[in-house]
Structure 1
């Protein structure tokens, strides 16, 4: 294990590999306790999360639902609720996976906000988009989609005096693979510190369908490349990222890509620059 691996894993609070099933179960219980404590500390009773159809929101969503169910049982207060919201841009290409995720999560409240009108309305008003290449414009608007989705989640949370859940985990954090003030914005991040295969392991333990557990991860923000795999954008696989974060040996190329990307995306993991 290199010094950089140790440094980066510590900065991201990476959870060590699960030694056995008992360790996995203990981590699930710790995460639920964290979610419940966040609600208590904020003196609110509602959680909101956008469900994409990927394993990250699937896992965070089910943990949220289980947590509010436990709070209701512990307190006798039915005010504790989880709102799962679908946030498609027109018709999502993997809508069947999003629907299956919602069916698995079994949220107290299910909602849908189609963000297409908001994104298109914004795009029409921003003249700076007009001179860009198709690829660059698609990328910029993709980030706008992520930010509009978070605006929608916070609007729902504000209307219900609740908190917004994020789905960031260590394998995405190390690559800066989130939109700043988009999916990177939230009130609590219950998957923080986990690597990708640990998220999948928790989802599997919770009973998620195997096709959703092992679904190819995609941010699905770009219209020119719908469903573009995360790993293609990374230039390395999640297996390599996970291995790096757990202090295992990876190829020199993978090591260089991960360290360079981590360094270049540091601003995304920090508070705004200040004098």
Structure 2
């Protein structure tokens, strides 16, 4: 591995290979330990998109809260459907929820709020691009989840994993904002391995990954947006050699999007020259 790849692999905590059962049990323990360490937590809140990441995080959260209740610790899992108007893959969202079996389900249509925000900005002379409107959707979805968590003494669970984190393929203070990120340390193929272990429906973990935020490019595959395949990203994070072009793209994403992985700087934390 190159020096930069070694640094990135160490930072992203991805193992060269995993035992799915052990990995699932470790994540469940983490979720339970976090809840048990914070007396105010009574709910875990997560938006369910019908994709691999939220399906996996949701199932692990549901298992965790069921175990907590068996140990006499009050806690429930709240799944949230967050369509922007009519969702094209709504059937897969329902399939994911059927698999997860969450304690509670809420549906919040974010379209009125997003459209009003975009309209208000336009009135102020700020015309958002389609890509920027996509970020508005991601941030509105996260705002809703935090509102529910605040209302129900809960925390928001994030779906960020290391293959997403290394490329910065998330909206800053949108889907990148959460109280806990239990999937960090996994790459995309390892998340799939966990869903297979958990007996998820095949079409959910075989679904083409897409953020689906842009109106002009509905259901745009992540790999097309990133310019690199998840296979190459996963290989890179597992310390394997990848084609030079893929390596360059991954490392460029990592450097360019470093600000997304950092908290707000203060005058005391910014590196001085």
Q: Deviations for 1:218-267, whole angstroms, at most 9, x for unmatched residues?
A: 00000111100000011000000000011111111000000111000000
Within 2, Cα distance between the matches of 1:274 and 1:163? Answer: 25
In the alignment, which of 135, 139, 146 is matched to residue 138 of structure 2?
Answer: 146
Could you tell me whether the CA contact under 8 Å between 1:129 and 1:137 is conserved in 2? Answer: no
Could you tell me whether the CA contact under 8 Å between 2:16 and 2:239 is conserved in 1? Answer: no
For the pair 1:73 / 2:70, whether they are aligned, the reply is yes
In the alignment, which of 120, 128, 135 is matched to residue 115 of structure 2?
Answer: 120
Structure 1 residue 207, shift from structure 2 partner: 0.9
Question: Which residue number in structure 1 is paired with residue 86 of structure 2?
Answer: 91
For the pair 1:53 / 2:50, whether they are aligned, the reply is yes
Q: Deviations for 1:53-108, whole angstroms, at most 9, x for unmatched residues?
A: 10000000000000000001112x4x310000000000111111111111111000
Question: Which residue number in structure 2 is paired with residue 15 of structure 1?
Answer: 15
Question: Which residue number in structure 2 is paired with residue 2 of structure 1?
Answer: 2
Question: How has the CA–CA distance of structure 1 residues 31 and 143 changed in structure 2, closer, same or farther, with 3 Å as cutoff?
Answer: same
Structure 1 residue 42, shift from structure 2 partner: 1.7
**2:129 is paired with a residue of what secondary structure?**
helix
TM-score by length of 2: 0.95
Question: How has the CA–CA distance of structure 1 residues 131 and 85 changed in structure 2, closer, same or farther, with 3 Å as cutoff?
Answer: closer
Q: Deviations for 1:144-197, whole angstroms, at most 9, x for unmatched residues?
A: 000000000000000000010000000000100000000000000110010000
Within 1, Cα distance between the matches of 2:38 and 2:28? Answer: 16
**1:126 is paired with a residue of what secondary structure?**
helix
Q: What is the 5 A alignment of 1:1-275?
A: 1-18=1-18, 23-43=19-39, 44-75=41-72, 77=73, 79-127=74-122, 132=127, 137-275=129-267
Structure 1 residue 123, shift from structure 2 partner: 0.7
Within 2, Cα distance between the matches of 1:168 and 1:5? Answer: 20
**2:241 is paired with a residue of what secondary structure?**
coil
Structure 1 residue 45, shift from structure 2 partner: 2.1
Question: How has the CA–CA distance of structure 1 residues 62 and 174 changed in structure 2, closer, same or farther, with 3 Å as cutoff?
Answer: same
Within 1, Cα distance between the matches of 2:90 and 2:123? Answer: 32
Question: Which residue number in structure 1 is paired with residue 271 of structure 2?
Answer: none
Please identify, of 54-63 and 34-43, the stretch whose mean Cα deviation from structure 2 is larger.
34-43
**Gaps (5+ residues) in structure 1?**
none
Structure 1 residue 14, shift from structure 2 partner: 1.9
**Gaps (5+ residues) in structure 2?**
268-273
Aligned pairs, number: 266
Could you tell me whether the CA contact under 8 Å between 1:123 and 1:129 is conserved in 2? Answer: no
Within 1, Cα distance between the matches of 2:123 and 2:5? Answer: 40
Question: How has the CA–CA distance of structure 1 residues 47 and 263 changed in structure 2, closer, same or farther, with 3 Å as cutoff?
Answer: same
**2:64 is paired with a residue of what secondary structure?**
helix
Within 2, Cα distance between the matches of 1:249 and 1:46? Answer: 42
Could you tell me whether the CA contact under 8 Å between 2:131 and 2:214 is conserved in 1? Answer: yes
TM-score by length of 1: 0.94
